[in-house]
């Protein structure tokens, strides 16, 4: 492999000049520039980026840590991140934690090792103190999730209010026995959506029945299994609010397998508005998050941090909205 020295030798210039041509910086005569370009061409030279990285101490790469790469919701956020990254000449590295909090903490080490210039976490199971300490030293942005009581830059929706909105919709449709398939309680997102659910019940004077809240893990299977449990109750729910669409679809399937109809016997509402929510039959009523935009904003924020700019608006809350489809059985708007 040809190195910058070989090019310099062949073009009869110093490595400094070659570097100047490469970076298109400094003053280089058109003539020498041509000579260098010819040498580059002739040797089929490609600059070794490792050398540059080391010297400049930046890699123009960011790492995105995703809890589950098979979840289409995250792929869409990722697309937003990629779009902005590409535009600014940054590469996107992807870390899949497979929902393992420990793996997540490991990814954090990539930063002090200087392997990437910054990180975006689409998950937040890391101990708060550790995360804060890192965020103080390195560019870190949280997206979708957040950590309570920190000022780590964050882009997300207001999960509590949207969960409330979803639950209220079911209440307005006349439901009183509303179950909730929650996300894992060790992620803030799961807790927030549960909180929104409770708030809606309380505001409408409905007593919360602990038996109607089941903790899942955002997977189709967990939605399916928990719904079977709910249906086995002496007094089963007439509506189910699932903390994401995959669990909602799992719920619908379970209801059907038990011979019930959706929405006639049990109404279902999901969360995220993944593509399948609109394709599935019945189409799933859900909360639509501005996924692409979340990704964009998160990457923009990260770029600010990397460039050392002072960021005034560190916490962004983007608008979401309820998309009413068939699975809830009513067009009543909130």
Partner DNA sequence: CTCAAATATGTAATCGATTACATTACCATC
Partner DNA sequence: GATGGTAATGTAATCGATTACATATTTGAG
| Interface segment toward a second copy; rule CB under 8 A; list 89-97, 177-185, 195-203, 316-324 | 89-97
Q: Rounded distance, CA 245 to CA 223, Å? A: 9
232 binds, among DNA, a second copy, none (CB under 5 to 8 A by kind): none
- Contacts with a second copy in 226-285 (CB under 8 A)? 249, 253, 256, 275-276, 279-281
Contact (CB, 8 A) for 321 and 257: no
260 binds, among a second copy, DNA, none (CB under 5 to 8 A by kind): none
82 binds a second copy (CB under 8 A): yes
Please identify, using beta-carbon distances, which residue of 203 and 275 lies nearer to a second copy: 275
**Which residue has 């190195």 as its token pair?**
3
127 binds a second copy (CB under 8 A): no
Positions touching DNA (CB under 7 A) are: 1, 3-5, 12-20, 22-23, 25-29, 31-33, 45, 47-48, 50-52, 54-57
94 binds, among DNA, a second copy, none (CB under 5 to 8 A by kind): a second copy
57 binds a second copy (CB under 8 A): yes
Looking from the CA of 265 toward its CB, the CA atoms found within 13 Å total 15
Site size with a second copy, rule: CB under 8 A = 39
- Contacts with a second copy in 32-51 (CB under 8 A)? 46-51
* Chain residues in the site for a second copy (CB under 8 A): 1, 46-51, 53-54, 57, 59, 69-70, 72, 75-76, 78-79, 82, 91-94, 96, 98, 109, 112-115, 220, 249, 253, 256, 275-276, 279-281
């Amino acid at each position: 492999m040809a190195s910058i020295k070989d090019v310099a030798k062949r073009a009869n210039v110093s490595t400094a000049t070659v570097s100047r041509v490469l970076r298109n910086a400094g003053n280089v005569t058109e003539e020498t520039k041509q000579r260098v370009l010819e040498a580059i061409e002739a040797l089929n030279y490609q600059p070794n980026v490792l050398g540059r990285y080391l010297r400049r101490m930046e890699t123009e790469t960011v790492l995105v840590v995703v809890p589950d790469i098979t979840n289409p919701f995250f792929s869409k956020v990722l697309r937003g991140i990629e779009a902005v990254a590409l535009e600014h000449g940054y590469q996107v590295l992807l870390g899949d934690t497979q929902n393992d909090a420990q793996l997540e903490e490991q990814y954090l080490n990539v930063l002090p090792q200087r392997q990437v210039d910054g990180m975006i976490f689409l998950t937040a199971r890391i101990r708060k103190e550790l995360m804060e300490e890192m965020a103080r030293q390195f560019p870190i942005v949280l997206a979708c999730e957040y950590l309570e009581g920190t000022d780590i830059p964050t882009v997300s929706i207001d999960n509590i209010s949207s969960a409330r909105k979803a639950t209220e919709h079911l209440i307005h449709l006349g439901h009183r026995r509303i179950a909730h398939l929650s996300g894992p309680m060790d992620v803030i997102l799961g807790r927030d959506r549960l909180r929104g659910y409770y708030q809606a019940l309380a505001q409408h004077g409905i007593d919360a029945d602990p038996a109607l809240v089941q903790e899942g893990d955002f997977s189709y299977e967990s939605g399916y299994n928990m719904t079977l449990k709910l249906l086995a109750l002496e007094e089963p729910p007439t509506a189910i609010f699932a903390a994401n669409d995959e669990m909602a679809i799992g719920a619908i399937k379970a209801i059907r397998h038990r011979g019930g109809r959706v929405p006639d016997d049990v109404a279902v509402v999901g969360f995220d508005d993944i593509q399948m929510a609109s394709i599935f039959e019945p189409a799933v009523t859900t909360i639509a998050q501005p996924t692409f935009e979340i990704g964009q904003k998160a990457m923009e924020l990260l770029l600010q941090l990397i460039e050392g700019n002072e960021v005034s608006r560190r916490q962004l809350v983007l608008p979401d909205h309820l998309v009413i489809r068939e699975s809830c059985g009513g067009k009543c708007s909130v």
